[in-house]
Amino acid sequence: MTDPNRERYRIRETAFYLFTQQSLPACKPVLTPGWVITIFLFMGLIFIPVGLVTLRASHSVVEIVDRYDIECVPESSRIDKISYIQDDSIPKNCSRFMKVRKYMKAPINIYYQLDNYYQNHRRYVKSRSDKQLLHGRKYHDTSSCQPVELNNGQPIVPCGLIAWSLFNDSFTFIRERAELKVNRKNIAWKSDRDHKFGKNVHPFSFQNGTLIGGGKLYPKIPLSDQEDLIVWMRTSALPSFRKLYGRIEEDLDVDDVIVVNLMNNYNTYSFGGKKKLVLSTSSWLGGKNNFLGHACIIVGCSSLVLAIVFTLLHLKYRR
């Protein structure tokens, strides 16, 4: 046995001994007043600036929200919006005006927002077939898609409630008579496009049943390119949610007025849901939300207050 070996053996022995005798070297921190005050101060000093930065990011985002679900129903039909929306013979187009209050730098994200819509309902979430989305009609076991599984014995592709209830309002944007170019590509996650929705899977017998749910798909385009569907099929976490519709790739100036021509097809009236159209720029933190910033500042401030209170108490009551 060579010397280093023996040395290593000895160290191992000692470590084992210390282990069995429960006397391993250990760090034993005690919450001394010094540490407590330092930690509180440190947290305060970290979180207040972070909160301010976060708030700034949030404030830098320009967001225009327009609720259109009521306005886009003719006055005469507003008593019974449900029969209005369900009546296919009535044209559903509608125009909205949005005024830009602050300069918006491209890309400007277009979202539609739905409220009181339970995309996270268990029945709804489960009602899809990932394998069918990827492999198409070759995949037969689509029982999870009930009740939107078969149509006259023909499998529906894509099956399930989620696809069936696809959002189908559409928007065009006009600024000063010129149509704004809306890029509707790249609105879905890349992983979804590449790995979850088949490139050779085409819609089949979709929305052919007695009850038409939401939007239709282009039968000739493979699912992996139907990004509206892909976005829609990432179910939302909360009953109030936005989904990306597209991006305007031009800057919008202050006081620009944008005319939105939309097709108000989607039925949220049955369950009293709202529909909103949102234009928003994004910062490094995403969209406009002051919560993070406020929370950071509050936590930071309360840490500072605690530090002060603790210091005072500590000085007043000597041990």
Residue ranges in 177-216 that form contacts with another protein under rule CB under 8 A: 189-191, 195-196, 211, 213-214
> What is the rounded distance in angstroms from the CA atom of residue 107 to the CA atom of residue 272?
32
Which candidate, 202, 206, 244, places its Cα nearest to that of 225? 202
Element (H, E) at 259: strand 257-263
Number of residues that bind another protein (CB under 8 A): 89
> What is the rounded distance in angstroms from the CA atom of residue 233 to the CA atom of residue 224?
12
Query: Of 147 and 219, which has the nearer Cβ to another protein?
Result: 147
Q: Does 248 bind another protein (CB under 8 A)?
A: no
Q: From residue 305, give the alpha-carbon distance in Å to each of 43, 47, 295, 297.
A: 11, 13, 15, 12
Q: Does 142 bind another protein (CB under 8 A)?
A: no
Q: From residue 107, give the alpha-carbon distance in Å to each of 248, 256, 281, 296.
A: 6, 16, 7, 28
Q: Which span (1-9, 151-159, 174-182, 243-251) binds another protein, by CB under 8 A?
A: 243-251
**β-sheet bridge partners, residue 280:** 63, 109
Residues 293-312 that bind another protein (CB under 8 A): 295-296, 299, 302-303, 306, 310
Q: Does 30 bind another protein (CB under 8 A)?
A: yes
Q: Does 103 bind another protein (CB under 8 A)?
A: no
Q: Does 151 bind another protein (CB under 8 A)?
A: no
> What is the rounded distance in angstroms from the CA atom of residue 85 to the CA atom of residue 310?
62
Q: Does 11 bind another protein (CB under 8 A)?
A: no
Query: Of 65 and 259, which has the nearer Cβ to another protein?
Result: 65
Query: Of 95 and 183, which has the nearer Cβ to another protein?
Result: 183
Minimum CB–partner distance for residue 250 and another protein (Å)? 15
> What is the rounded distance in angstroms from the CA atom of residue 150 to the CA atom of residue 162?
15
Q: Which of 10, 208, 271, 312 binds another protein (CB under 8 A)?
A: 271
Q: Does 171 bind another protein (CB under 8 A)?
A: no
Q: Which of 23, 76, 89, 152 binds another protein (CB under 8 A)?
A: 23
Q: Which residues of 63-89 are buried (b: 16+ CB within 10 A; e: fewer)?
A: bbebebbeebbeeeeeeebeebbeeee
